[in-house]
Amino acid sequence: MNIGITVYPTYGGSGIVGSELGKELAARGHTVHFISSSLPTRLTELNERVRFHEVEMMSYPLFEHQPYTLALATKMATVAETENLDLLHVHYAIPHSISAILARESLKPKRYLPVITTLHGTDITLVGADRSYLPITRYGIVQSDGVTAISHYLKAATKESFQFDDIEVIPNFICQTDYQRHPVAALRATLAPAGELLLVHVSNFRPVKRPVDCVEIFARVAQQLPATRLVMVGDGSERTNVEHRARCLGVYDKCVFVGKQPNIVDYLSAADVLLLPSEQESFGLAALEAMACEVPVIASRVGGLPEVVTDGETGYLSEVGDVEKMAADATRLLRDETFRRDMGQRARESAVSRYRSDIVIPQYLQFYQKVLQQAPKPN
């Protein structure tokens, strides 16, 4: 198949999932054309089967804001024609599904270009449900030829906010060979020079991730277990608040802020426990990646996280903001190495048996076939 994929290239889990999906499809013999404003971060290698088409934006003094949605639609239609795309698969509804539908409509006199939209989370729970964006987001979803969501929770949330439930649940996935624990003695020595135990958080430090809670949890853990450190991976708007709170709580010296990192598996391989105290998480790709690397997860009981993390088996779930319980659970894990390693093993087994790419990618391919079969045929 010739598949067009559009993602947000620089930010967020939806871009990671779309990029990894493209690579997995290419590895199975399909040709994937990424159409976006810049090269998606996870796309380090382009080749015959993984191609990139940059959306070009014309600036003109009259335009207060450049019309990206239209430029994207134009590029989608052009690439569909020149590369003979079988379908367009867009990740994150706003504005990608609208651009794709525009592209499909503009091509209609010549051919039909099926559009598949994958819902990732904040496109539904935050942005899409905002009254100002709701009608156009609903239009994009309803008009798509096929819609997938990354969790049962997100399917239910979409039904509630948009009264639409013709949605296939296809979860996030991991490549089980890329995501596995491996020796990282040098990194561990840098992060934990005195052999401390490591709590790790990975996110884009947006308010929805509640990274300040990580410091609150860590301060409570450190009172019980002084030989621990907190490693904060990523960057974003909440970082200043996180650092400020760490100073206030007197634990700043035990926190390591490493910023954005390309080699997340290394940091997860150095981790003893992952903290994911998010306000909302439709799936929680960070939790899945940690589990694949044998790291037990301390997370909020929100959104799709209970589908990913089994409370008491592969990690612990708590109500949003219950930093006392999260700290108690983390302390229990850090105190008992055998218990922690057993839970880490179960986390890996759970991640690989349910979410490895060999299981999930065929679900996307079957869904593509179903959509193509149902698409209008030329007369």
Binding residues for ligand GMT, rule: CB under 6 A, are 12-14, 17, 92, 120-122, 150, 172, 204, 208, 280-285, 303
Q: Rounded to whole angstroms, how far apart are CA atoms 320 and 340?
A: 23
Q: Rounded to whole angstroms, how far apart are CA atoms 240 and 105?
A: 45
> Judged by CB, which is closer to ligand GMT: 191, or 305?
305
Q: What is the CA radius of gyration of the chain?
A: 22
> Judged by CB, which is closer to ligand GMT: 174, or 323?
174
Q: Rounded to whole angstroms, how far apart are CA atoms 10 and 17?
A: 12
> Judged by CB, which is closer to ligand GMT: 3, or 288?
288
Taking residue 244's Cβ as centre, other Cβ atoms within 10 Å add up to 13
CB of 106 to ligand GMT, least distance (A): 27
C-alpha torsion angle, residues 127, 131, 135, 138 (rounded to 10): 40
CB of 122 to ligand GMT, least distance (A): 5
CB of 271 to ligand GMT, least distance (A): 18
> Judged by CB, which is closer to ligand GMT: 250, or 259?
259
Beta-carbon contacts of 197 under 8 Å, excluding residues fewer than 6 positions away, are 225, 227, 228, 229, 272, 273, 334
- Tokens at residue 74, please? 């134009």
Closest CA relative to residue 301, chosen from 287, 323, 280: 280
CB of 179 to ligand GMT, least distance (A): 14
> Judged by CB, which is closer to ligand GMT: 31, or 280?
280
* Dihedral pair phi/psi, residue 145, rounded to 5°: -80, -20
CB of 203 to ligand GMT, least distance (A): 7
Q: Rounded to whole angstroms, how far apart are CA atoms 358 and 343?
A: 24
CB of 322 to ligand GMT, least distance (A): 19
| Residue 150 · residue 144 · CB < 8 Å | no
> Judged by CB, which is closer to ligand GMT: 19, or 172?
172
> Judged by CB, which is closer to ligand GMT: 74, or 151?
151
CB of 275 to ligand GMT, least distance (A): 15
CB of 307 to ligand GMT, least distance (A): 11
- Tokens at residue 98, please? 């609208």
Q: Rounded to whole angstroms, how far apart are CA atoms 170 and 154?
A: 11
> Judged by CB, which is closer to ligand GMT: 222, or 274?
274
Taking residue 358's Cβ as centre, other Cβ atoms within 10 Å add up to 11
Closest CA relative to residue 11, chosen from 2, 22, 3, 19: 19
